[in-house]
Structure 1
Amino acid sequence: MDIIELVTDVTADRREIVFRLSGQHGEIACAITREALEAQFWLPPDADQIRMLKAFADGQRRIIAVAERKIRLSPGGPVRLTTNDFLIRR
């Protein structure tokens, strides 16, 4: 996927960060849960929106890679990343 411009936003309930990825099939709406940020990117449980966006920015390459993999596995719909998406499976 090509990332022309990555715009992130925290949902009103602060349970997810939403972002969009662009590619040959158009734009795809994506989200990563707060729980995934806490488990995989060391986001403190009481973090505010600014700290959530910082955690996303720090893990952006990995988050986008996991989102792209999930898009390839099930193209066409929105993508929601949870803690399970970051687990290494053998």
Structure 2
Amino acid sequence: MEKPELEPQILANRQGVSFWLVRGNTTVECIVTIAALEARFWLEPRAGDAGILGIFRDGYSRIRVIAERKLLAHPCARLELTPDDFERP
């Protein structure tokens, strides 16, 4: 499994996990919402920090691929991933 390029952090409002993708000289902040982790990665509702970060790390390869695809389609400085981003066409 690939590791995040910088350590992920749970947002202060507990609505998501922030992580960063580094592309050349650019660092993009990415957020995967707790709703996405619950809906698409089987995170238990009201999970503690260790559970949230564990699920994030387990799903990181898929999360990263989706973030990279979304970033290619819509370049930005801050990217948010929601449950809809993980739906398969």
Tell me if TM exceeds 0.5: yes
Q: CA, structure 1 residues 41+5, in 2 after alignment: closer, same or farther (shift >3 Å)?
A: same
What CA deviation, in whole Å up to 9, does each residue of 1:32-55 have, x standing for no partner?
000000011100002011100000
Residue 39 of structure 1 aligns to a residue whose secondary structure is: helix
Q: CA, structure 1 residues 41+4, in 2 after alignment: closer, same or farther (shift >3 Å)?
A: closer
Q: For residues 24 and 4 of structure 1, what CA distance do their matches in structure 2 show?
A: 16
Equivalent residue number for residue 81 of structure 1: 81
Residue 38 of structure 1 aligns to a residue whose secondary structure is: helix
TM-score in terms of structure 2 length? 0.90
1:9 counterpart letter in structure 2: Q
Question: How big is the alpha-carbon RMSD for the aligned residues of Structure 1 and Structure 2?
Answer: 1.5
- Structure 1 vs Structure 2: percent identity of aligned residues? 37
Equivalent residue number for residue 29 of structure 2: 29
Identify unmatched segments of 5+ residues in structure 1.
Answer: none
Higher relative contact order (CA 8 A, sep 6+): 2
Q: Which runs of 4+ in 1 moved over 2 A?
A: 3-6
What CA deviation, in whole Å up to 9, does each residue of 1:22-41 have, x standing for no partner?
01351001000000000111
User: What is the number of residues matched between the two proteins?
Assistant: 87
Equivalent residue number for residue 59 of structure 2: 59
- Report the CA distance between 1:77 and its aligned residue: 2.7
TM-score in terms of structure 1 length? 0.90
Equivalent residue number for residue 42 of structure 1: 42
